[in-house]
A and B are shown apart, each in its own frame.
Chain A
Amino acid sequence: MKVSPSYARLTEAFLAWSELHVSAPPKPRSWDSVQLLVGSAKVLDNYALEHLEKALADSNAELAPLGEPLKLNLGKHRWLSADREESYSDWLAWILQGMSGAAEILPLYALSDEVTGELLGPAGTVRREVRSQHGRTDIEVPIGKQGLLLIEVKVRNTGSELPSQLDRYAHKVADQHVERPLLVLLGTEAPEPNLDLFGFTFTSWEALCQRLRQYAHRVKESELLRAAAILIFCGAVEQNLLGFSGSPRRFRAMATVNYLHDWRCEV
């Protein structure tokens, strides 16, 4: 009897060969290109630093009688150091609790299209760290009679465990038979485009803070203290998670100038 060769055994060899494949001829090792790029970045940084003061002043004036939160150093507060995901979630949950409902909360996550009749209504009690067989969710906000906003908060780059985590939370919401689940992944960097997010929509911290700044700008006349608290939260996120600052670190001046310009564009 003729026996087929076991081709599967060759897979390992093919994989080893593919590792050896080089698509372009190797170039001599050199840092020349890097030094050229770094030199250009320094020129841009100097230019941006000249414009930063004006950008801070303009933003400061826009937020009067409050002020520009990037002028306040929030980088050394232990509550707000970069790896304190719980602190950021707690503060964000508190901010959401102060909002009236879907019409105010959902646009923060670019979910304005979802604000339809069935979702109109006040937000329920914002819940933190809800435990279930599927794990512990970061923030849950019941909205109206049929909606549930679930926010998974990330303050660092996400790892390979993210899809399975989101899958579990999507199942949790499905088990609850929520009619209008609104699933949000909040993070510093957008996940890989082809990654399955299991119905979650990504919102960046940068976009969220810009919208919160605009919100604080709108409510500062009537709710000065709440607006102040929201702006301080923005300042903490911007400095600790996004690297913006009134005294920016190397090569972050232009990013800060652009950021300050962008949030004011839609005021």
Chain B
Amino acid sequence: MNNEVLDGEREFFVTGVRTYLEADDAMTEFRRLVQHKCRTVASRRLDELNQACGMHWTVKELDDYFEKNDKNHYLGKRIEAKGFGGVYFCLRLSREDASRPFDAFVYLYRIRKDLANGLWDRPGAIAPVTYKSGHSLGFGRPLPEDKIPDFEDYLDQAVTLLLAFINESGGLQKYLAQNVKLGTDAIK
């Protein structure tokens, strides 16, 4: 290795040692701040979500949520629907899509792929699904660079998309099997 590389490595290492904990604390605080914003939005729309999903969720049931994979990081809040899955409210940061690096993102999650199949099969006329996998139905609003301070408004719009999709589909309860009683019994 030449001296320039060694110097660069040395400087990076020294800065890292000096900065690492402070950076880690800043990241922790950032995650908390995002989660707080997601909680604010989710709390505001909880009555409508309860109506659409046939639930009796309260703000107290919103849990922190943080997940990452090679492509995306998700920071936010989630609320559990026992026996089914839950609803997630988050900021999605993407490494994969340079044209869409930030999203205000809401998704419906099912623990098993044989739950609410009818809902997963719907295309969504008013509110098209922006992300679909075996377990998740996602509704995202791309967050432009200059609109990052308005994240809560964008997340609110993503919730509106989710609600429109569920409502135009006739409500969540309609798609659940007889043995799933949301909020009380786990599926056997």
Contact = CB atoms under 8 A, between A and B. Distances in A.
Interface of A: 23-24, 29-31, 34-35, 37-38, 40-41, 44-45, 110, 112-114, 189-190, 192-194, 199, 201-202, 204, 207, 210-211, 249-252, 254-255, 258, 266
A207 B66 CA distance: 17
B63 A113 contact: no
Contacts of A252: 25, 29
A164 B56 CA distance: 31
Contact of A38 (B26, B65, B66, B95): B26
Nearest to A28: B8
Given A113-B56, A113-B184, A193-B65, A31 B25 contact: no
B73 interface: no
B147 interface: no
Interface of B: 8, 12, 15-16, 19, 22-23, 25-30, 32-33, 36, 56, 58-61, 63-67, 70-71, 78, 80, 82, 86, 88, 95-96, 109, 135, 183-184, 186
Contacts of A30: 12
Contact of B60 (A114, A202, A207): A207
B27 A37 contact: yes
A110 B58 contact: yes
Contacts, number: 82
Contact of A41 (B8, B26, B96): B26
20 contacts: A23-B70, A23-B71, A29-B8, A30-B12, A31-B16, A37-B26, A37-B27, A41-B25, A41-B26, A44-B33, A190-B63, A190-B64, A190-B66, A193-B86, A193-B88, A201-B80, A210-B60, A249-B25, A250-B25, A266-B59
